[in-house]
Amino acid sequence: MAAPEREEDWSLHHEPVMLQESLQFLAPSPGDVIADCTVGAGGHARAILERILPGGKLIAIDRDPKMLALARKNLAKFEGHVRFFQANFTEIATVLSQSGCSRVDGMLFDLGVSSAQLDDPSRGLSFQLEGPLDMRLDQSTGIRAYDVVNTFPEAKLAEIFWKFGEERWSRRIARAIVQERSKGPITGTTQLARLIYSAIGGRRMPIHPATRCFMALRIFINSEISSLQETLYVVYGHLGEGARIVSIDFHSLEDRIVKEAFREQAKAGLVRILTPKVVRPTAQEVARNPRSRSAKLRAAERTAMEGVGESRRGRRGRVRCGGGG
């Protein structure tokens, strides 16, 4: 999909990944309260809102202020039915408290980064576009990719590339980076991409040689793995009985974390797994949107909770939140 010329074009061109599958497993109904924990441009959120009205509420969370502003614009017609929060989903307890909610009827996690973020050169997330080495999802805080690439020891760089990118040539790439930066700082995305390509020796690969290293840097800088691990083991306390949790991920590390968390919570009797086998996008969707090709969806349902009201089955909208925002 070609990059839109203006940010607002995403309201017209954004195609949420595995939308129909997400709705199938999330099963939103009129009156429900749903938390979209990674709202992005609002594609999934818009479809959810269309199904939870009348009477429903959507809690829209994103750590990226630019994406949150875009979601607010794209969801403007649902004003009064959405609360927007700039936050990491690790802060879900605080967000729900500020929303006036104790529990919700469903949660959606669309992990990774969106096309809008990848196609914005100023973020430095794409090795195909010239931009600064930033990669922060919230550009107001945290270290940049520039800082990591130009100051971290060789061994630490190799560890990042291997641990978060599963890059088999991690040590060779780290060595090449340290050698290159001794001549002067590495400042841009395409400069780093060319360096990685040269370090690997131009080997024929199914993906661009810089793909895994760029992904690893982004995951490390934004603490994506630790945030997911921390969150998945506490969200169950915020799900009403029968509530659904749906996760879409694009990385084997993320998928293993989700799979294991669901499995452990199922053994503890907290959830029922709805996807014994991972769900993948259809061939038709991949043809329309190649960036969906690595997507994996998993879902679970909150089981009975002692001392908590009626089952969600047969009733909707018992959870209530405060007003829009």
Residue 148 backbone phi and psi in degrees, to 5: -65, -50
Residue with tokens 């709805």: 274
Task: Decide if pLDDT at 49 tops 60.
Answer: yes
For residue 92, what are the CA distances in angstroms to 69, 230, 232?
A: 19, 11, 11
Q: Do domains 8-114+227-302 and 138-221 have the same CATH topology?
A: no
The pLDDT of residue 291:
84
HSE of 260, CA atoms in CB hemisphere, 13 A: 9
DSSP 32-44: -EEEETT-TTSHH
Helix (H, G, I), strand (E, B) or coil at 85: strand
Confidence of residue 4 (pLDDT cuts 50, 70, 90): very low
The pLDDT of residue 204:
63
Domain ranges of the chain: 8-114+227-302, 138-221
Alpha carbon distance 162, 31 (integer Å): 45
CB 144 within 8 A of CB 221: yes
The pLDDT of residue 114:
84
Q: Is the dihedral of CA 22, 25, 31, 37 positive or negative?
A: negative
Task: Decide if pLDDT at 239 tops 80.
Answer: yes
Tell me the pLDDT tens digit for each residue of 255-302: 999 999 999 999 999 999 999 999 999 999 999 988 899 999 999 999
Region 231-241: what's the mean pLDDT? Answer: 91
Region 219-242: what's the mean pLDDT? Answer: 93
Confidence of residue 324 (pLDDT cuts 50, 70, 90): very low
The pLDDT of residue 5:
38
Task: Decide if pLDDT at 306 tops 80.
Answer: no
Residue type, 150: N
CATH level 3 topology of 8-114+227-302:
Rossmann fold (3.40.50)
CATH 1.10.150.170 fits 138-221, yes or no: yes
Alpha carbon distance 148, 16 (integer Å): 31
The pLDDT of residue 229:
94
The pLDDT of residue 319:
53
The pLDDT of residue 242:
95
Alpha carbon distance 101, 103 (integer Å): 6
Confidence of residue 201 (pLDDT cuts 50, 70, 90): confident
CA angle in degrees (0–180, nearest 5) for 51-322-85:
80
Cα maximum dimension of the chain: 67
Alpha carbon distance 99, 321 (integer Å): 6
Tell me the pLDDT tens digit for each residue of 54-85: 999 999 999 999 999 999 999 999 999 999 99
Task: For the chain, give the mean pLDDT.
Answer: 89
The pLDDT of residue 102:
83
Region 99-119: what's the mean pLDDT? Answer: 91
Residue 314 backbone phi and psi in degrees, to 5: 90, -5
Query: Among candidates 23, 22, 31, 36, which has minimal Cα distance to 314?
Result: 31
Q: Which two tokens stand for residue 147?
A: 């800082």
The pLDDT of residue 318:
52
CB 16 within 8 A of CB 291: no
The pLDDT of residue 257:
96
Lowest pLDDT segment from 141-145, 174-178, 206-210, 313-317: 313-317
The pLDDT of residue 90:
94
Residue 274 parent element (H or E): none
